[in-house]
Amino acid sequence: MWWRGIILIWAIGVTCFTVMDCAEAYSEESPTNYNADIQRKSLEEVLIFELSPKIMSVLRKEYGNNILIGGAHIIPIRKSDSYPQQEFILEGEVTTHDSTSDIVQITFKASTDGYKASNFRVIRTQK
C-alpha cells in the first residue's frame, strides 16, 4: 500500500509543475479558475486509478474477464467543489471481447473502509 502514497505524491507534483508551466501560456484566463480545473481533473484521475480494482471487480461480475474500459470520468451527484466526493457516479465505455460496447455507470459511496460500489447500470449498448 506504500506505493499508493508515492503515486499520489507524484500526481500532486506533476499537477503543481503543470499548473505553474501552463499559467504563463494561459495568462489571459483567470489563473484561479484554470488551476481549479487542473486540480479537479488530476484528483479525478487519481481517484479513478485508486478505484480501478473495485471498478474491474464490478465489471467482471457483469461481463466476465475479457473487457476494456475507456473514457472513464466522474459525475458528482451533489454539486460540490470539494474532493473527495462523498457520493459520485463513475461513467465509462466498456468494450467486450465480441466488440459490443456499453456505456455504463457505477455509483460509489464513501464509507469508513473507503468507497463502496452501490449501483451498476448500463446506459446505452452499441454493436
> Is-above-0.75 flag for pTM?
no
Does residue 82 surpass a pLDDT of 80? Answer: no
Q: Are 50 and 74 in contact (CB under 8 A)?
A: no
Q: How far is CA 58 from CA 20, 23, 67, 106, in A?
A: 38, 39, 12, 8
Is there a contact between 89 and 105 (Cβ–Cβ < 8 Å)?
yes
What pLDDT band is residue 88 in, cutting at 50, 70 and 90? confident
pLDDT, position 25: 53
Query: Does position 71 have pLDDT exceeding 80, yes or no?
Result: yes
| Contact of 31 with 22, CB cutoff 8 Å | no
Domain boundaries, the chain: 2-126
Give the tens place of pLDDT for each residue, 105-127: 998 888 888 888 888 888 887 76
What does the pLDDT average to over 89-107? 87
What amino acid is encoded at 44 in this protein?
E
